[in-house]
Amino acid sequence: MKKTLLLFNTLRYLKFSQVYSRVCKRLQAGLSDPASFKAGPAGKFPGCRWPAAIEILPPGAQINTTEAIRLGSFSFIGENRNIGFPPDWKCPGMTRLWRYNLHYMEWIWALSYEDAKAAVLDWIENHRLAGNAIGWESYPVSLRLMNICGVFFGKFRNNTPADEEFRDRLWESIFLQARWLSANLETHLLGNH
């Protein structure tokens, strides 16, 4: 009886669109395989249209220093862990929120072009789209896309276009992540992401 009452008290405050979205999300999770997701061809890199005069700033305070990151030490939500560099993207034993922060990639703002490039290429290679992959949940994808674009097309806007092999690989990843995100909006949360 308590569970039924709890369910009722939860559902009565939700909008129909949230309930519908939650049901669809559950069904989708059981029927779809993220590894089979096809984003289609990314096409040729379209270039960056941000005016050079716009300075793109890191999001929030940067507590992870260049030296600490290069030594593999990362600090999120008051917990510091040594997970190597490039980091162990799965981070067994760490909380979900801690791993979310790792996958947001806000910390790449502290790195040189080459180190940021190495970290992103390692993520692309070693954290592929898969079910239950923290880095592929909608919120980490949305923040990571902003950080990657800000770093490589803002902070390093002169390096990235000249590094064609990396630029094209990065563009394919950005395209895949954006398509995945658009197919997995968190409509059940209403306006969160």
163-179 pLDDT per residue, tens: 999 999 999 999 999 98
For residue 177, being part of any structural domain is answered with yes
pLDDT at 188 over 60: no
For residue 13, being part of any structural domain is answered with no
For residue 183, being part of any structural domain is answered with yes
pLDDT at 187 over 60: no
Q: What pLDDT score does 19 carry? A: 62
Residue 173 CB-density burial (10 A; 0-12 exposed, 13-18 middle, 19+ buried): buried
pTM summary value: 0.79
What angle is formed at CA 160 by the lines to CA 157 and CA 163, rounded to 5 degrees? 150
Q: What pLDDT score does 56 carry? A: 78
Q: What pLDDT score does 6 carry? A: 74
Total structural domains within the chain: 1
For residue 96, being part of any structural domain is answered with yes
Lowest-confidence segment of 37-41, 101-105, 154-158 by average pLDDT:
37-41
Q: What value does the mean pLDDT take over residues 96-122?
A: 97
- 38 or 118: which leads in pLDDT: 118
Closest to 129 measured CA to CA, from 38, 193, 45, 42: 38
Per the structure, the complete domain to which residue 143 belongs is given by 61-193
For residue 181, being part of any structural domain is answered with yes
Mean pLDDT, the chain, integer: 84
Q: What is the pLDDT of residues 28-72, one digit of tens each?
A: 654 456 666 666 787 888 887 777 777 777 887 789 999 999 999
Q: What value does the mean pLDDT take over residues 73-89?
A: 96
Confidence of residue 181 (pLDDT cuts 50, 70, 90): confident
For residue 29, being part of any structural domain is answered with no
Q: What pLDDT score does 31 carry? A: 46
pLDDT at 25 over 80: no
For residue 79, being part of any structural domain is answered with yes
**Residues 62, 77 contacting (CB under 8 angstroms):** no
Cis before 51 (ω within 30): no
Q: What percent of the chain has pLDDT over 70?
A: 78
pLDDT at 119 over 90: yes
Q: What value does the mean pLDDT take over residues 105-122?
A: 97
